[in-house]
A and B are shown apart, each in its own frame.
Chain A
Amino acid sequence: MNILKLLITVIFLINFFSSDLKAKNLGTEITKNLRCLICQGQSVYDSDSEFANSLKILVEKKLDDGLSEKQVYDYLKNKYGDWILYDPGFNKNTYFLWLLPILMFVFGGAIILRKVILKK
């Protein structure tokens, strides 16, 4: 029974790792990280709006022209601003967003540390 379970697990894992993970192309990866400006809250990849469909074509075109992933992001950021990226870069508008978790972590750690020290 255990051997059977192990076998099923192994087969499942092999299938999982050899599935279409490799088949993904860069264009798909990029459009998944782009916010659709018409249907906000959806990525361009998921959306079927006119804007999203055009953007998908454009990303493929730009990649065919030989632009790198970063260049495509920069190009779109220049046109539409940081908002179009789901993973915005670190700059003066986003530093609070990026630093807040660290700040909270340090602050919380300090409270816990104080409690422990006070107990002693």
Chain B
Amino acid sequence: MKTKIFPIFLIITFSIIFYVFYKGLQNSNIYTPEIKSEIKIPSFEAKEFFSKDNVNSDQIFIGSEYYLLNIWASWCIPCKEEHKYLMDLSKKENIKIIGQNYKDNFVNAKNFLIKLDNPYDLIFSDNDGTIAIEWGAYGVPESFLIKNNQIIKKIIGPLNEKLFSEIKELTQ
């Protein structure tokens, strides 16, 4: 009896191990932070991009309007791809686009806006990248849709056609 249980046990154990590892092969090994929605926006202080005046986050996100915070940089190639969607969104009345210039050179960033046009209602600088961490972001570009001081949608990576229409629907 004892000699029979052991091989069966062994086979079952190895089958389970095989199954677990086989399943694991298909999983992505790149982790992206869970997208928690309905969280409060962080409070921070930053410098306005053009005037270099101090701005506080509660002076930027006021009232119950929709805001789209977009983290961008002139050195970021995907930012160029999503630029046309931001331009389109800037034409909408009920949404304000706030730019966060991430670790950028002022002259390069300014040229970027001159060349591709400026979709932002306000831009502030994030020279050491610490404000991006306050938002829970870890790269560029990233966008946050905000209403009533709550993040209602977080977008990692550039905007595309699908996300663009999703934002349009959410802000109807």
CB within 8 Å of B: which residues of A? 37-38, 40, 50-51, 53-55, 57-58, 61, 79-81, 83-84
Contact = CB atoms under 8 A, between A and B. Distances in A.
B103 A50 contact: yes
B129 A40 contact: no
A37 B33 contact: yes
Contact of B129 (A50, A79, A83): A50
Contacts of A51: 129, 138-139
Range, interface on chain B: 10 to 19
A43 B76 CA distance: 24
Which of A57, A58, A79 has the most B CB atoms < 10 Å from its CB? A79
Contacts of A80: 33, 136, 138
A37 B129 CA distance: 14
Given A50-B103, A54-B103, A55-B133, 7 more contacts: A38-B139, A51-B139, A57-B129, A79-B136, A80-B138, A83-B31, A84-B33
B133 A79 contact: yes
Nearest to B29: A40
Given A54-B129, A61-B130, A40 B30 contact: yes
Interface string B128-160: 111011101011000000000000000000000
Nearest to B36: A81
B138 A37 contact: yes
Contacts of B132: 54
B34 interface: yes
A53 to B, nearest CB: 7
A85 B34 CA distance: 14
B109 to A, nearest CB: 15
A58 B138 contact: no
B14 to A, nearest CB: 16
27 contacts: A37-B31, A37-B33, A37-B138, A38-B138, A38-B139, A40-B29, A40-B30, A50-B129, A53-B129, A54-B103, A54-B128, A54-B129, A54-B130, A54-B133, A57-B128, A57-B129, A57-B130, A58-B130, A58-B133, A79-B33, A79-B133, A79-B134, A79-B136, A80-B33, A80-B136, A83-B31, A83-B33
Nearest to A80: B33
A81 B139 contact: no
Interface string B97-117: 000000100000000000000
B101 to A, nearest CB: 14
B130 to A, nearest CB: 5
A79 B138 CA distance: 10
A104 to B, nearest CB: 12
B154 to A, nearest CB: 11
